[in-house]
Every structure is written in structure tokens, then in C-alpha cells.
């Protein structure tokens, strides 16, 4: 084979190999989602969304309390994650201080890499130990801490994209600086910030590890935010490792619901980001 | 005379770099004063010192006196926010607020300052849009987004937004440099109308524009005000050689 | 009426604005100060959380650290009943499962990154990239579910017997095929890590300036040669950073691993054997900790995990940021 042909062949082969790598990377997505659809789709019925779990061994029942529990936990998490994330991102993007903004940004990146179970330990020592019981509050704190770096960094990026001329126009109109920031800059950035928040919510909706010893899970409806509460992810885990076939089927259904929420939110966020990028051009 | 703008011994710095040296200038009211000069000569900085926008840049400072109808704009206890309500500004590139409609853009200066009366806002918006020669074009589409207008319309929208708060002075920093000749002509037309209600200072690169719209013209070079006079005189019989060199195109 | 007045129309009489509009209110200054105060308060809260987290981990693990000292890290016995705690099995499990995972994820991830950044036809790039991002968004527990009911049986029935009969003389593939065990954990980790390596790797490669590629192409290089000679060397540190980011994820991954690793605190050379990782023992035993020392030992494991992942991540970010600077940190 001449050198020319060999180079051509190598080029082709490498191209195919990299494509094969990409295909192999995507393959699990199809496998996982396929199995979920197949196994979980058959178990999804109205009962699933409206009933609470039946006692051990009895067939039927659903995950209504887990679904509601997840929503409540997300709400609690947002109570911590949104103010700290959005205002923190605003600070890092706008502040003229010398060192603090980059320190905060660095710490946010560090926090982003901390395993969620370790964050769960933190919430345990902070909330569960003093309260002497597991609670929705503790779970909310854990998930909120996980949210912070995601919301903070996306908010920072979006605020940086707001043109300085808009700020100047607001100031030139005779508006105080804080009003320019809140009513003009944040308003202009709200689409991007919302996207970041949605991505963060998609992430915490699927989190299980930190909830294992904070929210703990609950087979029934919770009786207050200072009580253990069910969550979809915990329930799926508990059913998956159980010995009961019926629970296994419900685990598949729960996983299907979880993954559908996550996919939908990711898709919407992706489309919204594409629009924003097109606008910015 | 107490009315108009009186600038005395104005100096400005960005950090340690001085960009304006000892500028003394009087801007007569209800007239158009043009400021010309090559890039970087300080005319934009000068204008930003008038409405106290210069100090917003970190590390920027200024010294000297600016009187507006006798009021010291840099006096002790003077709130820069209130100064900027009395002095409006239009920028080089049109910058309407993207998430707001035409109506909301014009009303922004009032609404965000707390004015709530709907009828009042309507009246103000209509008058401002008429002053900016935009009313007829948008009166049926007041609630479309501000960014859906053409470039020239957007700039007129910004003018309407600036005049809606009824400033005494309007500063225009190269307002037509991003626009085509037709849009430029429309804006020059409305400037001639606006001066009946306000004092206008226009920074421009375009000497023909200065000659068309202004009664007074000032020539800046390297941070100094070289000459100021009646427009026609400055262009036909400039007193300073530097002015003559610039006007005849020997530099800049 | 002049023409100008006609143009302005009837509504040209000055509209009088309320007097309050023109009066300076002290509210402006207070508004600014209050807002700044809110920002700083939030930053203080964030810093408190960071400090508190490290502090809580250190303080809670002190009893165990004082009791066991260095033998905690090297101890083989994890016996809650005897209150003898050694973490080596978990450290071993974490390291080995991550190593197996990375062994597969790195070539696949970088290959996919090259595909996305250099090889793929343009209309294909966005959809394929999106699919890979979706993979990163799948919750760990869902992967674990799939691992228990699909991957592990598959390994037990087909893969492990095959490996055992062909390569069984290697200590790696000795022992009965349970299905669940180190191999399953490693495979699940590779599935979960590869999207991160691919996505960050793609950003790194895209940040390589086009002038590099053009220089190679102008010399007559083929597409692959351009990638190999001009793009990869330039992006090398960034790619290493992407791999390290993946490693950081793999080390901290909890649920999926817990569900397929078998959860037995033993050290074995075989990939077929069950194991236990640091994250898994935390997940399984935290609520079972009956004594303060038990809890403290668990928290110490959490502290170790924290330190290792933070170091790996910090190193990764350093490397990723040095390439192009255009790489966005958070979007992994």
C-alpha cells in the first residue's frame, strides 16, 4: 500500500472508530430508557399516582406520597438554593471587590464537585442531630446546598451577558443602582436564570444519597416538615433492593416517571438556551 | 446668566490617566450645542461628567464645577440619581430594554421611579413619542417589544424614553453613528424641534451634522476645549489653528 | 400653528409630573445600601455553609480519628460490633471500581469528544451532543435499577462465565460469577462517567483555535492527522482535566454503585467478587450507626471522600481552565 493510500485508510478508520465511540456512549441511553419504557410503562396506572404504598407483600398501591414528597423537597431546596444562588451569582458577576468574587466562584466550583452523600452528612449534622429526627427540612437543606453552585454559576454567566449599555441606559434615566440591577438587569436575564434553575431542579429531583439520612423516606403521608418524608428517588431505591416482584415493578414505574421529568426539563432548558444564544448574536 | 449649563475648570481622570484638562464651557439653554473632535479627545467623557455618569466607572473621578440653571450638580449632598433625572442621555447604539414593550420602554423612567397613575403614564408616553417623531409609527403597536423596531426607530424610542422624564438637558453621544442616512435625517429633524423644550448637547464625529443642527459648536482635542463659538463662525473663520487643521481634514 | 406643532399634534402640552418625582428622596441611598447588604448577607451565608461543611466533617470524625489514627486508613477490619473500624476495604473498592470505570470511559469518552468536535457532520453534532448530555442527567438510582435488573444478570449469565472460561487463569477473573460485584460496579461507573468526559472533552477541543487546524490542513494533512497533530496536543491538558473531572464523579458516585457492588467489605483480586466503596458504606450504614464511635468512623470516611474528590476536582479545573479559558465550568 502506498503511503497515500495508507493515510487515507487510517483517516477513514479513525473517523469510523470515533463515531463508534460516540455510538457506544449513547447506547446505554437507549438501553436504559428502553427497559424503563418496557418494564415501567406497563406498571404505570392511575393508582400509581394517587395511592400510597400498600403494606409489605400486598400488591397494588402507588407512590403518590413519594411524588408529593419530592415536590415538597424541591420547594424547600429552592428556599435555600434560589436566594443564595441568584444573589450570589449577581454578586460574583457585578461586584468590583478585589478578591472575594473569585473566591466565591472557586468555592462554588468546589461545592459542585463534592459528592452529594457528603453534603447529606453535612445536613445530618446540621439539622438531624439537633432536631433528633429525620425531617423534610433536613432533606430540603441537603438538596438546597446541592442546588447552590449550579444556580450561582449559571446566573453569573447570564448576568455577564447582559450588555453594559442597558445598565447605563437605566442609570442615565435617573434610577438608583439597585433598581437598575433588580428591575432592568435581572429582568433582562430572567429567561436564562430560569433555565439554570430548571437544570438545578432536574438534578436534585433525582438525588437519592443525601436523602437517605435526612428526609429518610416515609411509607405514609408526612405529618409536618419536621417529620420524615417520602421521595420518589428514595422509594425507587427501596423498592429496587427489596425482594418483592410487585415492588420491583413499581420501582420501574417510579424510575420512568423520574427520568421523564429529568428529560423533559433538560430538553426545555436546551431549547431555551439555544434561543438565548441566538438572541445574543 | 443663570440658565443653561455652566462648566468651570472641569478635569477628569481614569485612574491616574487624565482625560479632561481644565474645560470651561457654557451651554446656552434651548439651543443645540455640538461637540466635535477626533476619537479619544474627551468629548464623550465631558458629556458623561455633566450627568455624573463618569463616576460610575470604577477608578474614575473628576473635579471642577458644573452648574445647571444655577444648581451645583456636584455640590455636597447632591444625589447623582436626581442629577440624572434632570439630564437625559441618548447613546451611540440604540439600547431599548429588550424585555419591555414600546410603551414600557418609554414609561420606564417614570414607572420604575414609582409613578403609577395609568392616565398620567399614557399622556407622558404619548407626548414623549410625539417629541421623538415616533408616535404615528407606533401608536397602534405600543405593546410590541421594543426590540422589534428598526434601528432608526429604536433610537427614536430611546430618545422618547429619555425625554419622558422631562429633563432640562438632553445629552446625545453620537446618536446617529449607527444609523443609515435616512434615519439620521429624521433624528436631526426632531432635534431641531426638541430644542424648543430642552437644552441639547450633541457629540458628533460628523462635522456636516454639527453644521446642520447646532447653533454653537465646541472643538475638543486631547482633553482640552480648544475653541467654542457660533457654529457658522467656527466652521468658516476658526480662531485657532488647531481647529482649522481639524476642520480642513489635516488630521483626525 | 407651525408645521412642527402640527406634527406634534394636540397632545403636545406639557404633562405635569407629580412633584414627588422631582424631590430627592433619601430612599435611593438606603436602597443601594440595603441591596448591597442583602448581597453580602447571602455571601456570608454561603461562606458559612462551606466552612460549616468542612468543620462538621472534621469535628464529627475526630473521635474515630483519635481512636484509630492512621490504622483507620490501613485497617482491614470493619467490625461495628467490636467497634473496630478500618477503612481499607472501602478505599480499595472505591479505587478499583473507579479504575475499571475509567479504563473504559476514557477511551470512549475521548473518542466521542473527538467525534463531536472534529469528525461529525455539522447537522449531527447538536442532536448527538444533546443525547450525551441527557445521559449525564439520568439519576444515579435509575442507572442502579438498570444495573440490578439488566446489567448484573447479563454479566452473571453471559459475560462473566465467558471471561472465566477464557481468561480464568488471571486473578482478575477468578471466582464464581455473581453478576453483582466489582465488574458490574466498574461498568456502571463507566456508563455514568463517559458523558462527562465526552462533554467536557468536546468543549476543550472546540476551544482549540481554528488557526491550529488550518495550519495543519494547509500542509496537506488528513482530517485525522490534523486532529492528532494540531488539536490533541494543544488540548492535552484540558483533556486530562476532563478525565480528572470524570474521575472525581466516579469516586463520589453512590447509588448506582451501591446497588450493584454487592456490599461486602472484602478485598479481593477478582473483578467478579463483591466489594464495597466509601460512598456505599455511607449510604448503607449511616442510619444503622448505633454508637457515637460508629457514626464518627463513618463521618471520617466521608471526610476522606470529601478530601479526595475536592483535590481531584481542583486539579481538574486547573487543567481545564488553562486551555482556552472558554470552557464553562458548570455545564457538566
Q: Which of B111, B47, B86 is nearest to B167 (CA)?
A: B86
User: How far apart are the C-alpha atoms of B57 and A160, rounded to whole Å?
Assistant: 16
Q: Which of C87, C120, C136, C130 is nearest to C242 (CA)?
A: C136
Question: Do A104 and A175 touch, CB atoms closer than 8 A?
Answer: no
| pLDDT score, position B138 | 92
Cβ contact A166–B98 (<8 Å): yes
User: How far apart are the C-alpha atoms of A227 and A216, rounded to whole Å?
Assistant: 9
User: How far apart are the C-alpha atoms of A121 and A134, rounded to whole Å?
Assistant: 12
Residue A140 pLDDT exceeds 90 = yes
User: How far apart are the C-alpha atoms of A207 and C136, rounded to whole Å?
Assistant: 13
Q: How do residues C78-111 score in pLDDT, each as one tens digit?
A: 888 888 888 899 999 999 999 999 999 999 999 9
Which range (A165-174, C204-213, C298-307) has the least confidence? C204-213
Residue A275 pLDDT exceeds 80 = no
Residue C332 pLDDT exceeds 60 = no
Which range (A70-74, C20-24, C231-235, C274-278) has the least confidence? C20-24
Mean pLDDT of A245-265: 88
Residue C122 pLDDT exceeds 70 = yes
Q: Is A132 exposed, middle or buried (0-12, 13-18, 19+ CB in 10 A)?
A: exposed
Half-sphere exposure in the Cβ direction for B120 (13 Å, CA): 12
Query: Which of the other chains make 3 or more beta carbon contacts under 8 angstroms with chain A?
Result: B, C
CATH superfamily of A64-280: MetI-like (1.10.3720.10)
Q: Could you say which of B79, B120, B193 has the minimum Cβ distance to residue C24? A: B79
Please give the share of chain B, as a percent, with pLDDT higher than 70. 99
Q: Locate cell 453478576: which residue?
A: C179
**More reliable by pLDDT, C326 or C53:** C53
Which range (A98-112, A127-141, C23-37, C210-224) has the least confidence? C23-37
User: How far apart are the C-alpha atoms of A209 and C1, rounded to whole Å?
Assistant: 78
Give the pLDDT band of residue B129 (cuts 50, 70, 90). Answer: very high
Reduce the secondary structure of chain A to three states and give it as a string.
CCHHHHHHHHHHHHHHHHHHHHHHHHHHHHHHHHHHHHHHHHHCCHHHHHCCECCCCCCCECCHHHHHHHHHHHHHHHHHHHHHHHHHHHHHHHCCCCCHHHHHHHHHHHHHHCCHHHHHHHHHHHHHHHHCCCCHHHHHHHHHHHHHHHHHHHHHHHHHHCCHHHHHHHHHCCCCHHHHHHHHHHHHHHHHHHHHHHHHHHHHHCCCHHHCCCCECCCCCCCCCCCCECCHHHHHHHHHCCCCHHHHHHHHHHHHHHHHHHHHHHHHHHHHHHHHHHHHC
Count helices and strands in chain B by DSSP H and E runs: 10, 10
Q: How do residues B79-105 score in pLDDT, each as one tens digit?
A: 899 999 999 999 999 999 999 999 999
Which range (B4-8, C143-147, C170-174, C210-214) has the least confidence? C170-174
| pLDDT score, position C26 | 65
Mean pLDDT of A56-74: 82
Q: Which of B71, B78, B95, B99 is nearest to B162 (CA)?
A: B95
User: How far apart are the C-alpha atoms of C260 and C114, rounded to whole Å?
Assistant: 31
Mutate to test the interface with C, among A14, A90, A192, A277 (most CBs of C within 10 A): A14
| pLDDT score, position B1 | 43
| pLDDT score, position A266 | 85
| pLDDT score, position C329 | 42
| pLDDT score, position B215 | 94
Please give the share of chain C, as a percent, with pLDDT higher than 90. 42
| pLDDT score, position A278 | 65
Mean pLDDT of A131-145: 93
Q: Is B4 helix (H, G, I), strand (E, B) or coil?
A: coil
- Whole-number average pLDDT of chain A: 89
For residue C300, give the C-alpha cell: 471520617
What domains, with CATH codes, occur in chain B? 5-95+171-247 (3.40.50.300)
User: How far apart are the C-alpha atoms of C119 and C128, rounded to whole Å?
Assistant: 12
User: How far apart are the C-alpha atoms of A26 and C131, rounded to whole Å?
Assistant: 7
Cβ contact A166–B81 (<8 Å): no
Q: How far, in Å, are C53, C82, C94 from residue C292 at the CA level?
A: 19, 13, 25
| pLDDT score, position B147 | 87
Phi, psi of B218 (to 5 degrees): -120, 140
Chain A CB contacts of C313 below 8 Å: 109-110, 112-113
Give the pLDDT band of residue C2 (cuts 50, 70, 90). Answer: very low
Q: Could you say which of B53, B99, B162 has the minimum Cβ distance to residue A188? A: B99
Q: How do residues A192-211 score in pLDDT, each as one tens digit?
A: 899 899 999 999 999 999 99
Q: How do residues B137-157 score in pLDDT, each as one tens digit?
A: 998 989 999 889 999 999 999
Cβ neighbours of residue A85 closer than 8 Å, sequence gap 6 or more: A147, A148, A149, A150, A151, A152, A155, A196, A197, A200
Question: Do B18 and B42 touch, CB atoms closer than 8 A?
Answer: no
Q: Is A254 exposed, middle or buried (0-12, 13-18, 19+ CB in 10 A)?
A: buried
Class for the domain spanning C90-284+307-322: mainly alpha
For residue C86, give the C-alpha cell: 478500618
CA-atom Rg of chain C in angstroms:
28
CB within 8 Å of chain B, chain C residues 15-54: 15, 17-18, 20-22, 24, 28-29
Q: Is B208 helix (H, G, I), strand (E, B) or coil?
A: helix
Phi, psi of B61 (to 5 degrees): -150, 170
| pLDDT score, position A54 | 76
Task: Please tell me the distance in Å from A96's CA to the nearest CA on chain B.
Answer: 8
User: Exposure pattern of C122-161 as b/e (b: 16+ CB <10 Å)?
Assistant: eeebeebbeebbbbbbbbbbbbbbbbbbebbeebbeebbe
The answer to whether C9 contacts chain B (CB < 8 Å) is yes
Give residue A82's region: left, alpha or beta (phi > 0; psi -120 to 50): alpha
For residue B219, give the C-alpha cell: 472643538
Q: Locate cell 460469577: which residue?
A: C177
Chain C CB contacts of B124 below 8 Å: 15, 17
Q: Could you say which of B53, B86, B161 has the minimum Cβ distance to residue A171? A: B53
Q: How many residues does chain C have?
A: 332
User: How far apart are the C-alpha atoms of C175 and C168, rounded to whole Å?
Assistant: 8
Please give the share of chain C, as a percent, with pLDDT higher than 70. 90
Residue A153 pLDDT exceeds 60 = yes
Question: Do C300 and A118 touch, CB atoms closer than 8 A?
Answer: no
| pLDDT score, position B68 | 92
For residue C203, give the C-alpha cell: 468543549
| pLDDT score, position C178 | 84
Q: Is B99 helix (H, G, I), strand (E, B) or coil?
A: coil
Reduce the secondary structure of chain C to three states and give it as a string.
CCHHHHHHCHHHCCCCCCHHHHCCCCHHHHHHHHHHHHHHHHHHHHHHHHHHHHHHHHHHHHHHHHHHCCHHHHCCCEECCCCEECCHHHHHHHHHHHHHHHHHHHHHHHHHHHHHHHHCCHHHHHHHHHHHHHHHHCCHHHHHHHHHHHHHHHHHHHHHHHHHHHHCCCHHHCCCCCCCCHHHHHHHHHHHHHHHHHHHHHHHHHCCCHHHHHHHHHCCCCHHHHHHHHHHHHCHHHHHHHHHHHHHHHHHCCHHHHHHCECCCCCCCCCCCCECCHHHHHHHHHHHCCCHHHHHHHHHHHHHHHHHHHHHHHHHHHHHHHCCCCCCCCCC
Spans of all domains in chain A: 64-280
User: How far apart are the C-alpha atoms of B144 and B132, rounded to whole Å?
Assistant: 18
Give the pLDDT band of residue C323 (cuts 50, 70, 90). Answer: low
Q: Could you say which of C11, C18, C24 has the minimum Cβ distance to residue B123? A: C11
Residue A280 pLDDT exceeds 80 = no
Strand B199-203 to strand B169-173: parallel, antiparallel, or no bridges (unpaired)? parallel
Torsion of CA B210, B211, B213, B219, to 10 degrees: 40
Which range (C187-191, C228-232, C249-253, C321-325) has the least confidence? C321-325
Q: Could you say which of C31, C259, C330 has the minimum Cβ distance to residue A154? A: C330
User: How far apart are the C-alpha atoms of A68 and A51, rounded to whole Å?
Assistant: 11
Cβ contact C56–A125 (<8 Å): yes
Chain C CB contacts of A8 below 8 Å: 222
Spans of all domains in chain C: 90-284+307-322
Q: How do residues B204-222 score in pLDDT, each as one tens digit?
A: 988 899 999 999 999 999 9
Mean pLDDT of C264-289: 90
The answer to whether C255 contacts chain A (CB < 8 Å) is yes
For residue B223, give the C-alpha cell: 482633553
Give the pLDDT band of residue C6 (cuts 50, 70, 90). Answer: very low
| pLDDT score, position C1 | 39
Q: Which of A35, A26, A42, A260 is nearest to C146 (CA)?
A: A35
Phi, psi of B205 (to 5 degrees): -85, -20
| pLDDT score, position C24 | 65
Cβ neighbours of residue C11 closer than 8 Å, sequence gap 6 or more: B123, B126, B127, B130
Q: Is B114 helix (H, G, I), strand (E, B) or coil?
A: coil
Give the pLDDT band of residue C9 (cuts 50, 70, 90). Answer: very low
| pLDDT score, position A250 | 86
Chain B CB contacts of C22 below 8 Å: 82, 85
Cβ contact C28–B79 (<8 Å): yes
Cβ contact C191–A205 (<8 Å): no
Mean pLDDT of A236-258: 89
Residue C324 pLDDT exceeds 50 = no
Residue C12 pLDDT exceeds 60 = no
Indicate the angle between helix axes A64-94 and A100-113, nearest 10 degrees.
150
Cβ neighbours of residue C158 closer than 8 Å, sequence gap 6 or more: none
User: How far apart are the C-alpha atoms of A75 and C218, rounded to whole Å?
Assistant: 56
User: How far apart are the C-alpha atoms of A131 and A174, rounded to whole Å?
Assistant: 50
Q: Is B17 helix (H, G, I), strand (E, B) or coil?
A: strand
H/E stretch holding B248: none
Amino acid at each position: 500500500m502506498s503511503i497515500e493510500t495508507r493515510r487515507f485508510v487510517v483517516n477513514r478508520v479513525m473517523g469510523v472508530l470515533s463515531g463508534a465511540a460516540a455510538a457506544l456512549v449513547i447506547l446505554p441511553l437507549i438501553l436504559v430508557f428502553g427497559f424503563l419504557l418496557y418494564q415501567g410503562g406497563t406498571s404505570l396506572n392511575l393508582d400509581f399516582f394517587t395511592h400510597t404504598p400498600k403494606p409489605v407483600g400486598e400488591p397494588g398501591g402507588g407512590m403518590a406520597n413519594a411524588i408529593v414528597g419530592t415536590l415538597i423537597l424541591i420547594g424547600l431546596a429552592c428556599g435555600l438554593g434560589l436566594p443564595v444562588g441568584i444573589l450570589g451569582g449577581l454578586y460574583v458577576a457585578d461586584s468590583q471587590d478585589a478578591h472575594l468574587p473569585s473566591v466565591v466562584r472557586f468555592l462554588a466550583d468546589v461545592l459542585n464537585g463534592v459528592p452529594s452523600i457528603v453534603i447529606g452528612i453535612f445536613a445530618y449534622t446540621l439539622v438531624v442531630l439537633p432536631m433528633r429526627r429525620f425531617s423534610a427540612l433536613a432533606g430540603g437543606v441537603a438538596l438546597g446546598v446541592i442546588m447552590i453552585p449550579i444556580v450561582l454559576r449559571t446566573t453569573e454567566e447570564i448576568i455577564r451577558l447582559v450588555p453594559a449599555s442597558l445598565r447605563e441606559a437605566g442609570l442615565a434615566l435617573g434610577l438608583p443602582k439597585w433598581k437598575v440591577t433588580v428591575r432592568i438587569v435581572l429582568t433582562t436575564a430572567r429567561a436564562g436564570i430560569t433555565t439554570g434553575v430548571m437544570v438545578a431542579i432536574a438534578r436534585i429531583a433525582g438525588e437519592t444519597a443525601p436523602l437517605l439520612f435526612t428526609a429518610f423516606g416515609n411509607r405514609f403521608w408526612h405529618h409536618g416538615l419536621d417529620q420524615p418524608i417520602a421521595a420518589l428517588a428514595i422509594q425507587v431505591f427501596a423498592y429496587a433492593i427489596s425482594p418483592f416482584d410487585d415492588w420491583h415493578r413499581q420501582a420501574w414505574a417510579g424510575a420512568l416517571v423520574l427520568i421523564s421529568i429529568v428529560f423533559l426539563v433538560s430538553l426545555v432548558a436546551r431549547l431555551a438556551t439555544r434561543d438565548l444564544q441566538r438572541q445574543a448574536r | 446668566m443663570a440658565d443653561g449649563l455652566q462648566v468651570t475648570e472641569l478635569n477628569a481622570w481614569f485612574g491616574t490617566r487624565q482625560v479632561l484638562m481644565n474645560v470651561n464651557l457654557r451651554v446656552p439653554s434651548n439651543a443645540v450645542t455640538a461637540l466635535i473632535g477626533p476619537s479619544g479627545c474627551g468629548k464623550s467623557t465631558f458629556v458623561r461628567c455633566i450627568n455624573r455618569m463618569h463616576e460610575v466607572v470604577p477608578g474614575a473621578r473628576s473635579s471642577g464645577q458644573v452648574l445647571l440653571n444655577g444648581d451645583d450638580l456636584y455640590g455636597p449632598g447632591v444625589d447623582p440619581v436626581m442629577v440624572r433625572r434632570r439630564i437625559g442621555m441618548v447613546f451611540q447604539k440604540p439600547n431599548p430594554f429588550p424585555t419591555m414593550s414600546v410603551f414600557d420602554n418609554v414609561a420606564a423612567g417614570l414607572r420604575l421611579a414609582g409613578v403609577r397613575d395609568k392616565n398620567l403614564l399614557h399622556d407622558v408616553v404619548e407626548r414623549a413619542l410625539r417629541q421623538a417623531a415616533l408616535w404615528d409609527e407606533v401608536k397602534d403597536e405600543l405593546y410590541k417589544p421594543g426590540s422589534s423596531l428598526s434601528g432608526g426607530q429604536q433610537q427614536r424610542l430611546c430618545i422618547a424614553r429619555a425625554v419622558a422624564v422631562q429633563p432640562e438637558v438632553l445629552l446625545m453621544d453620537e446618536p446617529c453613528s449607527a444609523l443609515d442616512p435616512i434615519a439620521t435625517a429624521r433624528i436631526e429633524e426632531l432635534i431641531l424641534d426638541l430644542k424648543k423644550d430642552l437644552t441639547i448637547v450633541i457629540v458628533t464625529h460628523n462635522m456636516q451634522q454639527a453644521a446642520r443642527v447646532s447653533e454653537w459648536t465646541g472643538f475638543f482635542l486631547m482633553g482640552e476645549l480648544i475653541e467654542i463659538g457660533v457654529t457658522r463662525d467656527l466652521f468658516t473663520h476658526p480662531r485657532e489653528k488647531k481647529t482649522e487643521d481639524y476642520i480642513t481634514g489635516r488630521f483626525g | 400653528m407651525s408645521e412642527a406643532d402640527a406634527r406634534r399634534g394636540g397632545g403636545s402640552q406639557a404633562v405635569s409630573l407629580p412633584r414627588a418625582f422631582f424631590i430627592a428622596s433619601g430612599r435611593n441611598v438606603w436602597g443601594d445600601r440595603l441591596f448591597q447588604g442583602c448581597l453580602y448577607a447571602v455571601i456570608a451565608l454561603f461562606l458559612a455553609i462551606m466552612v460549616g461543611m468542612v468543620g462538621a466533617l472534621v469535628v464529627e470524625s475526630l473521635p474515630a480519628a483519635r481512636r484509630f489514627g492512621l490504622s483507620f486508613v490501613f485497617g482491614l477490619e470493619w467490625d461495628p460490633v467490636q467497634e473496630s473500624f478500618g477503612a481499607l476495604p472501602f478505599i480499595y473498592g472505591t479505587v478499583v471500581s473507579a479504575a475499571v470505570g475509567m479504563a473504559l470511559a476514557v477511551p470512549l469518552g475521548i473518542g466521542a469528544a473527538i467525534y463531536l468536535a472534529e469528525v461529525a457532520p455539522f447537522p449531527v453534532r447538536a442532536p448527538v451532543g444533546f443525547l450525551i448530555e441527557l445521559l449525564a442527567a439520568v439519576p444515579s438510582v435509575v442507572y442502579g435499577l438498570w444495573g440490578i435488573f439488566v446489567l448484573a444478570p447479563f454479566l452473571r449469565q453471559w459475560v462473566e462465565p465467558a471471561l472465566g472460561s477464557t481468561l480464568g487463569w488471571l486473578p482478575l477473573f477468578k471466582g464464581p460469577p455473581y453478576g453483582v460485584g466489582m465488574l458490574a460496579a466498574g461498568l456502571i461507573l463507566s456508563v455514568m462517567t463517559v458523558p462527562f468526559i465526552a462533554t467536557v472533552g468536546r468543549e476543550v477541543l472546540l476551544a482549540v483555535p481554528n488557526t491550529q487546524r488550518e495550519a495543519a490542513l494547509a500542509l496537506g494533512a488528513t482530517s485525522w492527522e490534523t486532529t492528532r497533530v494540531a488539536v490533541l496536543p494543544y488540548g492535552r491538558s484540558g483533556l486530562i482535566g476532563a478525565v480528572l473531572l470524570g474521575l472525581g464523579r466516579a469516586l463520589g458516585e453512590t447509588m448506582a454503585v451501591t446497588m450493584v457492588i454487592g456490599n461486602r467489605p472484602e478485598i479481593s483480586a477478582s473483578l467478579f467478587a463483591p466489594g464495597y466503596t466509601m460512598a456505599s458504606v455511607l449510604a448503607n450504614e449511616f442510619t444503622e450507626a448505633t454508637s457515637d464511635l460508629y457514626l464518627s468512623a463513618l463521618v471520617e470516611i466521608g471526610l476522606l471522600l470529601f478530601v479526595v474528590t475536592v483535590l481531584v476536582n481542583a486539579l481538574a479545573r486547573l487543567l481545564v481552565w488553562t486551555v482556552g479559558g472558554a470552557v464553562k465550568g458548570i455545564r457538566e
